[in-house]
Amino acid sequence: MNAKSVQCPSCGKHAAGNFCSHCGSPIVSVCPSCDTEVKPGSRVCHECGESLEAKAASKQWNAQTIAPWVAIGIATIALFVALLSWFGRDDGAASPAPSSLPMTSTVPAPGQPVDLASMSPRDAADRLFNRVMIASESGNTAEALKFAPMALEAYDNLETLDNDARYHVALLHLTADDIKSARVQIDKLRQAVPNHLLAIMLEHQIAERSGKKDSAARAYKTFLAAYDAEIAVGRVEYQEHQGSIERFRKAAQASTTGKK
């Protein structure tokens, strides 16, 4: 038999069926045992004594209850896709990094499997830095400019920047052709360590970009004069960029002596 429309004992609105379509509260219009009509809200049938308590779940899955979970699921998927675009694998195999690349050695190069869940904020920033440097060195300017702002934002989100991170940030600014911002990081490096080798290398790069040969030559000489004492200190950032430092030293020696 068809259920009659009755007044919901919870919200007072008229509804039919086992549950109120307005608030979801259970409604029993007939006894499920003897089909005797009973008053809404009754706990037992007055005819046969059968319990009228709702046996179904107190909450139905309808469009209103499912919608929030669907939205959360979509947002989670969107976030995951965004993370993959930052840190994920390239469509093809990654090209080997050129030997002159000033990459950090603390995280794998793009194209290698990465556990995003275990990556610290600093590792994430360094990975983006590596991706920008690889793209820049391979001539992929579009990709370098795409990921440089992401990398800079990642470093901005760190509580503090050590000298190694400041070097990374300065290189990222130079990649984006923002010499003014790069100089800010150079000045902070020189304030911490007056003869910091990485700061001198950055100054040489800016001088060459600006076509200032005298400034570039002076940077070479300053670097060579400070090299032995600075290397003896054993700074962590020197170890991270040992390859770049040694290549720069050879270039400086060749420039000042005319020998390769």
Residues 13 and 135 in one domain: no
- For residue 36, how many C-alpha atoms fall within 13 Å in the half-sphere facing its CB? 14
Of 40, 60, 80, the residue that ends a domain is 60
pTM of this prediction exceeds 0.75: no
Same-domain pairing of 99 and 186: yes
Residue 87 lies in a domain: no
Please give the distance of CA 99 from its chain centroid, rounded to a whole number. 27
Residues 42 and 119 in one domain: no
Which residues partner with 26 through β-bridges? 19
Instruction: Please indicate, yes or no, if residue 166 is contained in any of the structural domains.
Output: yes
Domain that residue 55 falls in: 1-60
147 and 98 in a common domain: yes
Tens place of pLDDT per residue across the chain (260 aa): 444 566 676 677 776 666 666 666 666 566 777 777 766 666 677 677 677 664 433 444 455 556 666 667 776 676 665 555 555 544 444 444 444 567 665 555 445 555 545 678 999 999 999 999 999 999 999 999 999 999 999 999 998 999 999 999 999 999 999 999 999 999 999 999 999 999 999 999 999 999 999 999 999 999 999 999 999 999 999 999 999 999 999 999 999 876 54
- Asked whether residue 56 falls in the same domain as residue 112, the answer is no
Same domain membership, residue 46 and residue 110: no
Q: Cβ-count burial of 99 within 10 angstroms (0-12 exposed, 13-18 middle, 19+ buried)?
A: exposed
Are residues 194 and 247 both part of a single domain?
A: yes
Number of separate domains in the chain: 2
Whether residue 47 sits in one domain with residue 153: no
Q: How far apart are CA 221 and CA 256, in angstroms?
A: 7
